[in-house]
Amino acid sequence: MNIFLSASIRGGRDMLSTYIEMCNYLQENGHDVLSWHVADPELERTESLLTEQEIYIRDMEFLEKSHCVIAEVSTPSIGVGYEISSALQRGLSVLCLYTPQTNVSAMILGDKRITSKEYRNMDAMKGEIDSFLNSINKS
C-alpha cells in the first residue's frame, strides 16, 4: 500500500525516533512510505535544497498517490494538520496516533472521519497501525 506518513517538522522534532520506528515498521511490512523523508534525521539539510513551493507540490503529489495517511499528532504541527485536512478532502482514510498526556486538537479528535488512537508504547502503536490497515483492506 502507498502510505503518506505525516509527522511534525517545523512544529518540532523531539519525537524523531518515534517517526523513524513508524516508518521502519511500515516499510518492513511491505508498504511504500512515499513521505519517508519525515523520518530522515538528515531532513533539515535535504529539504533546505528545495523551495517552500517545491516541498508543497511534492507532498501534495505524494498525497495524490497515497491510499491512506498515518499521522503522528502528539507534537502540534500546522503542516500535519494541513495534510490531514487535504487527505480528508480527497476521501482518504486517516489514522492519527498520539501519546498519553498530549493536548491533541479538538479539530482532530472531533472529526469522526478520522481514526484517532492513543498509544502507550511502540507495540501498542504498531497494533493500532495493523488494525487500521486491516480495516482499509476490508473496506
Ligand X SMILES: O=c1[nH]c(=O)n([C@H]2C[C@H](O)[C@@H](COP(=O)(O)O)O2)cc1CO
**Residues at the interface with ligand X (CB under 6 A):** 6-11, 35, 38, 47, 55, 59, 77-80, 83
User: Long-range contacts of range 41-49, CB-CB < 8 Å, 24 or more positions apart?
Assistant: 41/16, 43/9, 47/9
Q: In what order do the strands lie in the sheet with 32-33?
A: 32-33, 2-6, 68-72, 93-98, 114-118
Contact 63, 90 (CB under 8 A): yes
Query: Using CA atoms, how far apart are residues 72 and 5, in angstroms rounded to an integer?
Result: 8
Nearest distance from C-beta of residue 34 to ligand X, angstroms: 10
| Residue 44 labeled ligand binder | no
Q: Is 105 annotated as a binding residue?
A: yes
Nearer to ligand X, 32 or 134 (CB): 32
**CA proximity to 86, closest of 125, 117, 60:** 60
Cβ at position 87, least distance to ligand X in Å? 11
Closest residue to bound ligand X by CB? 79
**Residue 107 annotated as lining a ligand binding site:** yes
Of 66 and 77, nearer to ligand X (C-beta) is: 77
What's the closest the beta carbon of residue 138 comes to ligand X, in angstroms?
A: 27
Q: 33 or 133, CB closer to ligand X? A: 33
CB of 47 to ligand X, least distance (A): 4
Query: For 49, which DSSP code?
Result: T
Decide whether 42 or 123 has the Cβ nearer to ligand X. Answer: 42
| End-to-end Cα separation, the chain, in angstroms | 14
- Residues annotated within the binding site for substrate are 19, 83, 105-107
